[in-house]
Structure 1
Amino acid sequence: MAFFPYRLARRVCWPAATRGWRMFATTVASRPIIVHKLGLDILKDPWFNKGTAFPITERDRLDLRGLLPPIVLTAQQQIDRFMVDLNRSQVNARDGPSDNISLAKWRVLNRLHDRNGTMYYKVLIDYIEELAPIVYTPTVGLVCQNYSGLFRRPRGMYFSAADRGEMMSMVYNWPAEQVDMIVITDGSRILGLGDLGVQGIGIPIGKVDLYVAAAGIHPQRVLPIMIDVGTNNERLLKDPLYLGLQQRRLDGEEYLAVLDEFMEAVFTRWPTVIVQFEDFQSKWALKLLQRYRNTYRMFNDDVQGTVAIAGLLGAVRAQGRTMIDFPRQKIVVAGAGSAGLGVVNAARKTMAKMLGDNESAFESAGRQFWVVDAEGLITDERPGIDTETLPFARKAKEVGLLGLREGSSLIEVVKKVKPDVLLGLSAVGGLFSKEVLEALKDSTSVRPAIFPMSNPTKNAECTPEDAFSILGEQILFASGSPFKAVDLGNGKFGHCNQANAMYLFPGIGLGTLLSGARVISDGMLQAAAVCLAAYMKEEDVLDGIIYPPISRIRDITREVAAAVIREAVAEDLAEGREDMDPMELRRLDKAETLAYVKSHMWEPDYATLVYMD
């Protein structure tokens, strides 16, 4: 995150007479901000700089006359000029031309962020559908792979294994007196690219930008963080330009000691902060979630499978049934890493809740999943099966009735199970081969769903062209990375849904923040997924559109946040905030909850600046 002088702005925008976040959120743009700098120092400050939008009176007041071109542009004119520059056919980065237009655009956006934070978020919000793939998936994968060479100025914070014993004091180096949202990674499993070490910081940077753009969390209250515990990537260990610790990753108790110290430090300074864990390797992702989720306000949307659950529920609707029929879905899952097991676990809990939320329901729901990894179908006869995988292993005797066994191939499983959904979370590009897709033709569903969810694009288990050409126009297709619609001829197109995590995590974070929930429960995550699945109109769903357009993201986030708040209240987890106590929250109806959420979403508007010595 670029340095924004939060303490300075807060002194003016949140005086003692106001009450908490509501006043901050709704008055930042309208109340004048007192600054203690003039001239070029103002223009070099990304939070106060308005560029050519400074009115003449402010130019005189702040000693800016003559330091800018004489014309005064509106914010919209600035945006229009910027987009012309961004979309030129040959976009050049400052350090030379790029042969990758998306990466070049990321550089141009990054420079805008460095010089004018308000305009950066104006552009991102106005063009979110076009720019989300640049600031996040899939371009962020390329950014992370090259981050050591792209690094120009720091964003966020870096805590490393070398900082043990110092984190409690380090956390006070960040200038914001209040942080609402932290996104953290250790760089061990960046998308489907593996261990990228400290270069994984690109993921938290991209996600906090989406928290601002989609959820309206103030940019001075979000913080991307990298936990550098080393890397096992041989190329990075030998790269003299690599910016991280050039040592092997810590493991075991040493690794946990670093994370424990970090969590204690962060929540000591900011007790109400929410921490989102992102792209941790399978070995640790579930363990860390279980270790911290009942003590701290934290979640891991990949492991907890929220956006995938929304897609699965949407698929039920698109197949002509209601969401309550979800427990009848037969689902084959390719991939048993943290994401794969996380989705299965979340889907199983959702099914169980629909069936009565008891032990029998949970057992029944488990029989709807067949999990396949690199060694084939996972059963209870798998030698050396780990504790995280064991709950999802099928009983060998049970699958034997279908003619399957321990280690049966994906093709065999698809042929015998005839699933309603084929879900890919393997990070193996092309895993859904022609043979696998051909096997899905015998699905008992008239409209089978194919979800190649692995990121980035090259790791998708299949392309939409392959899926539609083999299985026809009636299938449902949803991927983790964006794909264009497929021309099926005769004026028909195969719709390519993107199961983008940004549909849900901003609303989960905002809803948790505004409810004051002390933890983030499974019920709150399920409420978010159900809300998204129900968002689309019936006619759209029947056309195969199960995720809404990203252009609606702020409206979607409002709805999701409101659903999370209502669930937190229902579970008696909501502790409220300074401007809304738990009893007041409980009395809000749906419309009032939506209005409450909307009133707390920050809008990027230029504030009037007043100099004071």
Structure 2
Amino acid sequence: MAERDYEQDTTVADGVLRIRARGRAVLSNPMTNRGTAFTDEERTVLGIHGLVPTGFTTLENQTRRVYEQFRNTGTMLGKFLTLNALRDRNEVLFYHLLTNHLEEMLPVIYTPTIGEAIERFSHTYNRPRGVFLSVDRPDQIADSLRNYGLGADDVDLVCVTDSEGILGIGDQGIGGIQIAIGKLSVYTAAAGIHPRRTIPVVLDVGTDNLGLLSNDLYLGERHSRVRGEKYDDFIDEFVTTVQQLFPKAMIHWEDVGTANAHRILHRYQDEVCTFNDDIQGTAAVVLAAILAAVDVTGGDLEDHRIVVFGAGSAGMGIANLVRDTMLRSGRLESEEEAYARFWPIGIQGLYLDDDTSLLDFQRPYARSRDDVAGWELEKPGHVGLMDVVRHVRPTILIGTSTRGGAFSREVVEEMARHCTRPIIFPLSNPTSRAEATPADLLEWTDGQALVATGSPFPPVDHDGVRHVIAQSNNALIFPGLGLGVAASGARRVTAGMIAAASESLAGMVNAWRPGAPLLPGVGELRLVSATVAIAVAQQAALEGVAEKSLGDPIQQVYGRMWQPRYPDIEAI
């Protein structure tokens, strides 16, 4: 059924659904179909008597039924596919189920299960969702985006990936569309962005994954990944077209490879309303956890010595936001003082300024040879993690390396020897790649470590105290950020808006209680997203980038949060 067969104001929480279609066409569109929840009167006017069972049921009972089906599905991928099929037939019911069981289902529709769904995309492919753009057909970008059926004022978010840096599994070609779809599902479930105000996009620039290229079922372009000028021209054509067709939309970049992610963000962030979740979203939620931990330890953020282990896109994004926060405090006299608080470590060891392999965004953090002169090294010529911990005596240790177990007992005990409350964040996903487990960190520091992780971990009991482990989940930031941008009509996403999101998130926890988490749980995402959105919208107005006046920001944000329930129907 075409989009013109129904109308709805998607900028309000409960817009009336005006349906022009009749009969089976009503049931074939996931936004108009409500199956057995159609009343007798609605069945009459819409011409669907006899097309659904005669019994009438409520949304709540439908949710109970599909939840039972979900629970009876044996594998995580099976659960993912069950939810996908539900969304394709009844979008309101899908989101009602998801919001009622968000903590349980988030790992299914998003990380870690979505990784398997991406890998299996060409095998499990069923109903198309999203927009597929090919680097070999740049002339089709505009028509392809128009074919999605949304107008200039109908889009708040375009979530796009080139699939090169998918989670911890790398280049996944056209299957990356699933990460864009999953991300937008979280925007809707957590922040109430109407599902028909978002567009998931995959930029098919080829793949260097030989397993995909040699698979007869693979659905993407069959050539190696395009790079250089042709890639840049394709990106530029895409960004320009989105701006022309959907001038109010924020472009959300997801899982773009390290070499391109910072470059693209730097290229467009001052001209376009754009946001990179892997760089800025990760940084924002980690900053919130750091601020909460620093509040527990006392003192100021600028007093801390920070080691970033695995200083790629995510690690350097964290460093950049923490650096900017230090500078905004006014207690440092120069950028150089802020950079001096960081010690970044990569595959080759500590970043040193004579290392020609460093990328542009890493180079400002590189240390001089004088900084390590006289150090006794475990391996001559290589400044490793233990060397840095022993000589720098860091107070904050951040892991974004994907090197499971890298924060060894020796490293952690050495850090704790010189720091009463070490702040240690093993952030790598999935669990097997985490630099340490919370249980080990608390054991090795006698319960004193302040911990946040990238993967979910169960509570840890130590010395009579139950420690609830904060999960540094980007879902605590990006949905609220997108909602705040939409509610304020922000023309840009500024560093101040991202910092405001972090600070509002940090302000939601009381980490002083023994064992308390440093961040809210994902079960509170609707409240978290609304709180973050208000802070973001207010900061946008303060910085003069908001197109809409904010006379009542609480109502303006709350009024934009779509509720997954069946709206009133008007047959037209």
Sort the TM-score into its range (normalised by shorter chain): over 0.9
> Aligned residue for 2:316?
341
What is the alpha-carbon distance in structure 1 between the residues aligned to residue 274 and residue 168 of structure 2?
Answer: 23
Give the corresponding residue for 2:62: 78
Question: What whole-Å deviation, never above 9, does each CA across 1:558-602 have from its counterpart, x for those lacking one?
Answer: 1111111111111111121xxxxx3xx2xx3xxx31222101111
**Alpha-carbon distance in 2 for matches of 1:515, 1:608:** 27
Amino acid at match of 1:517: A
**1:2-28 CA distance string (max 9 Å, x none):** xx8544433xx34xxxxxx6xx41441
Instruction: After superposition, give the CA deviation of every residue in 1:179-233 in whole Å (9 maximum; x if it has no partner).
Output: 1101111000011211111111111111100111111111111111100101111
Question: How big is the shift at 1:489?
Answer: 6.2
Q: Which residue of 2 aligns with 1:17?
A: none
Equivalent position amino acid for 2:384 in 1: S
**Alpha-carbon distance in 2 for matches of 1:443, 1:145:** 44
CA distance in 2, matches of 1:53, 1:539: 47
Q: Does 1:36 align with 2:33?
A: no
Cα distance, 1:466 vs structure 2? 2.6
Q: Is the 8 A contact 2:467 2:517 kept in 1?
A: no
- Report the residue type matching 2:82 in the other structure: V
1:410, 1:210 → 2: CA distance?
36
Name which of 556, 566, 571 aligns with 1:606: 566
Residue in structure 2 matched with residue 556 of structure 1 by the alignment: 528
Higher alpha-carbon deviation: 129-138 or 430-439:
430-439
User: Does 1:276 find its partner at 2:252?
Assistant: yes
| C-alpha separation in 2, matches of 1:401 and 1:75 | 69
For residues 495 and 232 of structure 2, what CA distance do their matches in structure 1 show? 24
Provide the rounded CA distance (Å) in 2 between the counterparts of 1:32 and 1:378: 57
Q: Partner of 1:182: helix, strand, or coil?
A: strand
Taking the aligned partners of 2:150 and 2:54, their CA distance within structure 1 comes to 35
Amino acid at match of 2:386: I
Displacement after TM superposition at 1:251 (Å) = 0.9
Distance 1:343 1:561 in 2: 20
1:99-248 paired onto structure 2 within 5 Å: 101-177=75-151, 178-248=154-224
In structure 2, the residue matched to 1:315 is 293
Secondary structure of the residue aligned to 1:355 is coil
Question: How many Å separate the matches in 1 of 2:568 and 2:489?
Answer: 32
In the TM superposition, what whole-angstrom CA distance separates every residue of 1:406-437 from its partner, at most 9, and x where no partner exists?
A: 73111111122221111011122222233323
What is the CA–CA distance in structure 2 between the aligned matches of 1:83 and 1:56, rounded to whole Å?
Answer: 25
| Structure 2 partner of 1:530 | 503
1:391-406 equivalences in 2 (<5 Å)? 391-400=364-373
* Alpha-carbon distance, 1:611 to partner: 4.0
| CA–CA separation in structure 2 for the residues paired with 1:407 and 1:7 | 64
Deviation at 1:282, TM superposition (A): 0.8
Q: CA deviation at 1:301?
A: 2.5
Tell me the residue number matched to 1:285: 261
Q: Provide the identity percentage.
A: 36
Within-5 A mapping of 1:487-566? 487-488=461-462, 490=464, 492-540=465-513, 542-566=514-538
In the alignment, structure 2 segments of 5+ residues that lack a partner are none
Judge conservation of contact 1:293–1:520 (CA < 8 Å) in 2. yes
Q: 164-173 or 522-531: which moved more?
A: 164-173
- Is residue 25 from structure 1 mapped to residue 12 from structure 2 by the alignment? yes
Contact 2:96 / 2:564 at 8 angstroms: preserved in 1? yes
Moved more, 430-439 or 191-200: 430-439
Distance 1:472 1:71, change over 3 A: farther
Aligned to 2:545, which of 566, 573, 587? 573
Find the aligned partners of 2:4 and 2:302 in 1 and give their Cα distance.
Answer: 51
Distance apart, 1:118 and its partner CA: 0.6
Counterparts of 1:50-69 in structure 2, within 5 Å, are 50-69=34-53
CA shift digits 1:43-94 (9 cap, x unpaired): 2221111122111222233333333233211111111122122113xx15xx
Change (3 A) 1:34 1:68: closer
Which stretch of the first structure deviates more once superposed, 186-195 or 77-86?
77-86
CA distance in 2 between partners of 1:439 and 1:6 (Å): 62
Partner of 2:415: 440
RMSD: 2.0
Q: Which amino acid aligns with 1:174?
A: Y
- 2:138 touches 2:237 (CA, 8 Å); kept in 1? yes
Amino acid aligned to 1:212: T
Match of 1:47 in 2: 31
Contact 2:14 2:567 in 1 (8 A): no
Contact 1:376 1:406 in 2 (8 A): no
Match of 1:250 among 210, 217, 226: 226
Shift of 1:120: 0.5
SS in 2 for 1:166: helix
Alpha-carbon distance between aligned partners in 1 of 2:19 and 2:171, rounded to the nearest angstrom: 45
* Equivalence for 1:594: 554
CA 1:488–1:102: 2 relative to 1, 3 Å: farther
CA contact (8 A) 1:61 1:610 kept: no
Tell me which amino acid in the other structure corresponds to 2:19. Answer: I
Q: 1:51 to 1:600 in 2, by over 3 A?
A: same
Instruction: Rate the CA distance shift 1:455–1:7 in 2: closer, same or farther, 3 A.
Output: farther
Moved more, 457-466 or 71-80: 457-466
CA distance in 2, matches of 1:544, 1:608: 43
Measured in 1, the distance between the counterparts of 2:95 and 2:498 equals 27
Shift of 1:458: 2.4
Distance 1:514 1:126 in 2: 24
Question: Within the alignment, does 1:371 sit opposite 2:336 as a pair?
Answer: no
Alpha carbons of structure 1 residues 437 and 175: separation in structure 2 relative to 1, 3 Å:
same
Q: Give deviations 1:96-140, integer Å, cap 9, x for gaps.
A: xxxxx2222111111110110011011111111111111111211
Instruction: Note if contact 2:452-2:470 (Cα within 8 Å) is conserved in structure 1.
Output: yes
Q: Residues of 2 paired with 1:7 and 1:475: CA distance?
A: 57
Name which of structure 1's ranges 434-443 and 543-552 shifts more when overlaid on structure 2.
Answer: 434-443
**8 Å Cα contact 1:396/1:406 also seen in 2:** no
Bigger drift between 388-397 and 115-124 goes to: 388-397
C-alpha distance 56-158 of structure 1, shift in aligned 2 (>3 A) = same
The equivalent residue for 1:303 is 279
Return the match for 2:239 from 263, 280, 290.
263
Separation of aligned partners in 2, 1:475 and 1:73? 51
